[in-house]
Amino acid sequence: MFTFENKEELQEKITAAVEVAEKRAQSRLLPLDLEKLTDAVVSTPYGYAEGDGGGVAKSYRYRAETTCFNLAWYTQGSKKVVALSVYRGDAEKVAYGSSGYLTIHAGPEHKWEGFRRVFPDRARKIANWLKARKIRQAIQHLPKPPANLKIQEVLPDVGGIVRTTGSWTDYVGTPAGWIRVPSEKGNGKRTAWTLLARMGFPVPRRKADRVWSEELTAAVTLHVLGEV
């Protein structure tokens, strides 16, 4: 990660990194358009560029290397912070081989992706915080979930109930409590109401009739209390 004072300094740093990576390499070199790349970095506040020196045919039996290139930039105050990675890695094997490429994504619409690539640790913390907030908002109308439930995703259903996925176990959250889904009853495609029906709860057959009722509250309460 580095900053730069002018376009010439930026060009020198990129050129030096590519030359080090491609030292003694003779094939699958990066098609670097240095002028176009540095113009994009200098003239826009956020963005990223990625590319490689091309792939080899699937019929090629030997290990082949290609130049792998990743660059991102993010403006903080009056400075642009640049993250740059250039190395020789395994060439991708495709049907008939492939030519090298370099794509540039520049502009305000790439602000988050530029930030994520320049500051991956900070971006991960922000993403985790946003995910946790989204989960809290999705279940705030329901009773508090079990303390050992580590929710990774919430799938809302009609009538205010939800299905949650966790590290090992899925749950259905209802106004009357939380119900663990036995592994043999659930899969990734089933909704919260479908899971309740498969577990024997009195779920209306018609989707339009699926609203929470006193009958469901009683059934779930008995289940949660372990009386059935």
User: 102 and 49 in contact (C-beta within 8 Å)?
Assistant: yes
138-154 burial, b if ≥16 CB within 10 A, otherwise e?
A: bbeebeebeeebebeeb
Place of tokens 């929710």: 151
Tens of pLDDT, residue by residue over 19-49, are: 999 999 999 999 999 999 999 999 999 999 9
- Domain residue ranges in the chain: 7-118, 129-224
User: How many residues are given for the chain?
Assistant: 228
Q: How many helices (H) and strands (E) does the chain have?
A: 6, 9
SS3 181: strand
Average pLDDT across each block of 10 residues of the chain; the chain has 228 residues. List them in order: 95 98 95 96 98 94 95 95 98 91 96 97 96 95 90 92 86 93 76 92 90 92 76
